[in-house]
Amino acid sequence: MQTGRPEELVVKIEVTAHGPYEVSGDVPLRPRSPVESEFGEPLTWRTEDPVDHPPTYELCRCGQSSNKPFCDGTHAFVRFDGTEAAPVEPSSDRAERFERTGITVVNDELLCVHAGFCGNRLTNWYEMLSEMDDSVTRSHLIGMLEHCPSGALAVELGGESIEPDHPAQISPVPDGPLWVTGGITILRADGEPFEARNRVTLCRCGASSTKPLCDGTHKSIGFKT
């Protein structure tokens, strides 16, 4: 008797060579938008209504589809260069660690997409490190870093990684990356998997220097969706 899920329903994202992201397993597609203060500071995330899609679908990676976030084949006409340059080693091999009273902040700058949740007009995560003796400030810092979409900044307590409870889904961010959560398997074009992570941001402007990961270039080129 056949057991297990059919191959086409395996939950995964495949990076195709110079082409789109192929998504299988009926992964939910639900946009999320930053909620900002009156000063333009990102405070939290708003989850939008889900986008209808078939069980398997393709998402634009070149940034030029007329049907974003879905691929419409434009990558072939513009000769999109989707060469992958993201590192293959685990984030822990390069991340910097800041151990303070009751908390460790882990910073992997390579993953930063400049979402802005790690600071405001009064302070930022690095300045707050000097105040970790105060449990209220510590709690505030944890809350800020949990909103980091890429997980470039993360928290450990008692030697254990503390990750927000995200569902397995893909969230297009307005004028920004694809925010992938819940530990979905992401395969490179050569078929090898990336490090499994709870929070990953994938480039969809086509201009990142660390494809398929987002490096924040969408901001400097004025990418619009």
Q: Give the model confidence (pLDDT) of 197-225 as tens digits.
A: 999 999 999 999 999 999 999 999 999 98
Q: How confident is the model at residue 2 (pLDDT cuts 50, 70, 90)?
A: very low
Distance from C-alpha of 155 to C-alpha of 139, rounded to nearest angstrom: 11
Instruction: Single out the residue of 189, 214, 202 nearest to residue 113, CA to CA.
Output: 214
Structure tokens at 215: 């490096």
Cα Rg, the chain, nearest whole Å: 18
For residue range 78-98, list pLDDT tens digits in order: 999 999 999 989 999 999 999
State pTM to two decimals. 0.93
Structure tokens at 200: 């990953």
Q: Given its phi and psi angles, is residue 16 left (phi above 0), alpha (psi -120 to 50 degrees) or beta?
A: beta
Distance from C-alpha of 32 to C-alpha of 166, rounded to nearest angstrom: 12
Q: Are 115 and 148 in contact (CB under 8 A)?
A: yes
Residue 205 identity: C
The DSSP-derived string for 69-126 is TB--SHHHHHT---------S-GGGT-EEEEETTEEEEE-GGG-----TTB-SS-BHH
The pLDDT of residue 188 is: 96
Polymer length in residues for the chain: 225
The pLDDT of residue 91 is: 94
Structure tokens at 181: 């959560």
Residue 15 identity: V
- pLDDT at residue 126 greater than cutoff 60: yes
For residue range 150-193, list pLDDT tens digits in order: 999 999 998 899 999 999 999 999 999 999 999 999 999 999 99
Taking the mean position of all CA atoms in its chain, how far away is CA 45? 13
Instruction: Single out the residue of 33, 69, 29 nearest to residue 53, CA to CA.
Output: 29
Q: How confident is the model at residue 55 (pLDDT cuts 50, 70, 90)?
A: very high
For residue range 98-113, list pLDDT tens digits in order: 999 999 999 999 999 9
The pLDDT of residue 7 is: 47
Q: How confident is the model at residue 129 (pLDDT cuts 50, 70, 90)?
A: very high
The pLDDT of residue 6 is: 45
